[in-house]
Structure formats: C-alpha cells, structure tokens
C-alpha cells in the first residue's frame, strides 16, 4: 500500500509543476487564460501576481520531489499537508473547484501514505 502513497504524491508533484508552468509562463496566453477563465485585461493586470503564485506551486512540487527522491516520508507528509491547506484556502477565497483539483489529490496521497500494510 505504501507504493500507492508514493505514486499519488508523485502525481501531485507533477500537477504542481504543470500549475507552475501555466501561472509563470502561460498566464497571458490563450491556454492560460482558458485554464483560469481570464479575460486578456485581467490576465495582463495580474501577470506578476500569477508568476509569484506559480513560484510557490513550484516550491510545493520541489518539496514533494525532494521527499520522493530522499525517501523521507515525514517530508512527504509535510508537503502534502501544505498542498491540502493551499487547496482549501484557494477553494475558500478564489474558486471552489480548487478543492477538488488541488486539495483532494493531495488528501488521497496523504491518506494512502499514512496507511500501513499489515501483511
């Protein structure tokens, strides 16, 4: 069962790399504006804020990747909790669907990481 938590945490890391790329490099492109439902005016006005947000998502991904490479389960649990908190906050303050896109995958990875096989 431990491998499922490892695999799900890897998926969460990849998701955050994708979010980082969208926010930092494609925010004002048609792809970024469609992904975040933005008008060109709003995208241009918020580009710097989005790049900063993207950097934080990159840090979350880096922490998860570090945890997976090093095998440090406590670090993995910490960064999964960070993603969950960020997802809950984003859902409460920005867009409710963030709860399902960001927090839920991290919560599943956290739950699977905490389950210990008794076999």
pLDDT, mean of residues 17-37: 96
Average pLDDT, the chain: 94
Q: DSSP assignment, residue 29?
A: S
Are 89 and 70 contacting, i.e. CB atoms less than 8 angstroms apart? no
Q: Which residues contact 77 (CB under 8 A, 6 or more apart)?
A: 110, 113, 114
Q: Which residues contact 72 (CB under 8 A, 6 or more apart)?
A: 66
pTM of the model: 0.92
């Amino acid at each position: 069962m431990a491998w499922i938590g490892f695999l799900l945490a890897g998926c969460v890391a990849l998701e955050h790399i994708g979010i980082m790329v969208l926010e930092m490099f494609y925010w004002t492109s048609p792809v970024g504006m469609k992904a975040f439902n933005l008008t060109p005016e709003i995208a241009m006005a918020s580009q710097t804020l989005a790049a900063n947000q993207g950097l934080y998502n990159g840090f979350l991904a880096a922490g998860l990747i570090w945890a997976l490479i090093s095998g440090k389960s406590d670090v993995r649990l910490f960064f999964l909790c960070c993603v969950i908190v960020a997802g809950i906050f984003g859902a409460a303050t920005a867009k409710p669907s963030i709860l399902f896109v960001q927090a839920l995958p991290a919560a599943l990875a956290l739950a699977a990481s905490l389950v210990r096989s008794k076999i």
